[in-house]
């Protein structure tokens, strides 16, 4: 197992390098970060060129990539455009932990911007994911065990409706119902936007109450999808001979479900979860935008539309790294779930 893990980690290095090259190349088509910098103020060509030189945007793409990777403190830059490189570069490159500085918030390190938002994303996404999984498991298992009952039919119909609804519709509808109209009707109401009320401060109860609507919005679609998947996996597993044998041995339904059925049904679900978990870091763009949640999803979208390569690359590389690690963890969990799987 140790050799397997080491081998996978070594394989991840060239993989992440290739991913970074592909993403960097694709980002060049996202627009010119200097195009709208001056707003409606007249910006002379020499000013744009000066900014491009200072920000390193005048270099060919492959040079920009090399500077992003290993830094430019080993070369000198011609800042004053006299043809003589005189100013030492200050970047160390991502291999030395320097994610670069934002082109939008000039001077602010990209990693600082990302780390400022990352905890907010985890606060939103982890409880959401736990809620989704627990609810989907409960609904899916119950639905499978009571196949074709009226509850199963109702759950099925609800799942199809929930899965079909666009998330922005659910988000806005729930906001208008529980925040705007409930308040108008004199009922207990929820807040509309934000992670907390700035007038009250970032307290635990404030964050919890502000989590309700975003988590509800994300959950409707996800629970609908996951519960159907759990149901189908459970139905497949419970029709196996060993389940029949377990019942025949006199085990209770609960023991059969938990010890035998669920563990085997969980294997493909672990695959899906392993793919989904790293993307928790990316946040939820639509939900965060509608509810004004200061997370990574909104950060990514805001900086992508402004062609802020350092921040966008930082976010994407973080997610790529998380995908690689999570895939490794997923494979290890497989081995625990299914004793037939061995790694060497």
Partner 1 sequence: MRKNLFRIAVFVAVVGLVLSACGPKVVPATETAAPGSPEPTETAAPGSPEPTEKKIITIAWTQEPNSLNRSYSSMWYMSTLIQIYSCSPWQFDENNEPYPYMVTELPTVSDDGLVVTMHLRDDLVWSDGTPLTSEDFVFTYDMITNPANSVDSVYPYDKFTVSVPDAQTVVMNFTEVFTPWMATLWSGTIMPKHILQPVFDSEGTIDTAEWNLAPTVGCGPFNFTTWESGSYMQFDRNENYWGTLAKLDSVIFQFVPDDAAQTAACLAGDADVCCWPPYEDIPAFRDAGLTVATEPSGYTEGWFFNLREMASPGIRDLNVRKAIAMALDRESNTDLRMNVVKVTETFWDALPAYVDPSITPWPYDLEAARQLLEQSGWIDRDGDGIREDANGNKLTITQGNTNKTERQNYQALAQQQLLAVGIDLQTFSYESNLFFDSFSAGGPAATGTLDIMEWSDVPAFPDPDSSYWLCDQLPSDENPYGLNYFVCDETLDALFKEQVNTVDPAVRAEIFHQITKYMHDNVYYLGIWDDGDVWIVNPRLTGYKFSGVTPFFNIMEWDVIP
Using CB under 8 A, list all residues that contact partner 1. Answer: 30-32, 34-45, 47-48, 50-51, 54-55, 79-80, 104-108, 113, 116-117, 120, 172, 175-176, 179-180, 183, 188-189, 191-200, 202, 204-206, 208-209, 289-295, 298-299, 302, 305-307
Q: Which two tokens stand for residue 308?
A: 């802020």
Query: Based on CB atoms, which residue is closest to partner 1, 100 or 274?
Result: 100
Shortest Å, Cβ 44 to partner 1: 7
**182 exposed, middle or buried (CB, 10 Å; 0-12, 13-18, 19+)?**
middle
Q: For partner 1, give the closer residue by CB, 180 or 275.
A: 180
- Least separation, in Å, of the C-beta of 68 and partner 1? 18
Task: Give dist(CA 24, CA 17) in Å, integer.
Answer: 11
Alpha carbon distance 150, 191 (integer Å): 36
Shortest spacing between CB 145 and partner 1, in angstroms? 20
Q: How many CA atoms lie within 13 A of 280 on its CB side?
A: 23
> Structure tokens of 273?
């979860």
* Pick 202 or 259: Cβ nearer partner 1: 202
Identity of the residue, 34 or 329, whose beta carbon is nearer to partner 1 in the bound complex = 34
How far apart are CB 275 and partner 1 at their closest, in Å? 26
Q: Considering the complex, state which of residue 121 and residue 233 has its C-beta at the smaller distance from partner 1.
A: 121
Tell me the C-alpha distance between 191 and 204, whole Å.
Answer: 15
Q: Is the dihedral of CA 289, 294, 297, 299 positive or negative?
A: positive
CA 38-42-48 angle, 5° bins: 60
Q: Which helix (H) or strand (E) holds 88?
A: strand 87-88
* In contact, 140 and 226? CB cutoff 8 Å: yes
Residue 185: CB minimum distance to partner 1, A = 12
**Minimum CB distance to partner 1, residue 34 (Å):** 7
Give 211 or 326: the residue with its C-beta nearer to partner 1: 211
Closest approach of partner 1 to the CB of residue 32, in Å: 4
- Partner residues linked to 67 by β-bridges: none
Nearest to 309 by CA among 57, 112, 45: 57
Distance CA 311, CA 180 (A): 35
Of 112 and 253, the one with the shorter C-beta distance to partner 1 is: 112
Three-state DSSP class for residue 76? strand
Q: Which CB, 36 or 153, lies closer to partner 1?
A: 36
Supply the Cα-derived Rg of the chain in whole angstroms: 25
Query: Nearest approach, Cβ of 292 to partner 1 (angstroms)?
Result: 5
Q: Nearest 5°: phi and psi at 164? A: -80, -15
């Amino acid at each position: 197992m140790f050799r397997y893990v080491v081998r996978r980690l070594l394989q991840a290095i060239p993989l992440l390098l290739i991913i970074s090259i592909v993403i960097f190349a694709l980002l060049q088509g996202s627009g010119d970060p200097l195009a709208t910098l001056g707003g409606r103020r007249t910006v002379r060509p020499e000013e744009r060129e000066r900014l491009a030189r200072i920000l390193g945007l005048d270099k060919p793409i492959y040079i920009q990539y090399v500077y992003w990777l290993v830094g430019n403190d080993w070369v000198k830059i011609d800042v004053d455009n006299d043809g003589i490189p005189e100013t030492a570069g200050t970047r160390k490159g991502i291999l030395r932990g320097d994610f670069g500085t934002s082109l939008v918030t000039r001077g602010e390190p990209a990693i600082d911007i990302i780390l400022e938002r990352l905890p907010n994303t985890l606060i939103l996404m982890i409880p959401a994911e736990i809620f989704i999984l627990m609810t989907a498991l409960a609904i899916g298992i119950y639905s499978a065990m009571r196949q074709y009952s009226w509850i199963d039919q109702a759950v099925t119909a609800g799942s199809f409706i929930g899965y079909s609804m666009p998330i922005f519709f659910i988000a806005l509808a729930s906001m208008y119902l529980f925040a705007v109209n409930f308040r108008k009707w004199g009922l207990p109401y929820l807040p509309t936007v934000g992670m907390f009320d700035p007038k009250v401060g970032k307290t635990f109860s404030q964050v919890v109450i502000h989590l309700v609507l975003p988590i509800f919005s994300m959950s409707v679609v996800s629970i609908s999808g996951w519960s159907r998947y759990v149901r189908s996996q459970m139905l497949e597993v419970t029709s196996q001979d060993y389940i029949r044998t377990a019942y025949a041995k006199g085990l209770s339904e609960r023991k059969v479900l938990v010890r035998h059925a669920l563990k085997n049904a969980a294997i493909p679900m672990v695959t899906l979860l392993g793919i989904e978990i790293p993307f928790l870091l990316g946040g939820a763009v639509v939900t965060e935008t509608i509810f004004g949640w200061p997370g990574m999803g909104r950060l990514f979208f805001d900086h992508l539309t402004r062609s802020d390569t350092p921040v966008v690359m930082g976010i994407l590389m973080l997610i790529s790294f998380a995908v690689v690690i999570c895939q490794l963890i997923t494979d290890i969990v497989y081995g625990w779930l299914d004793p037939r799987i061995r790694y060497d």
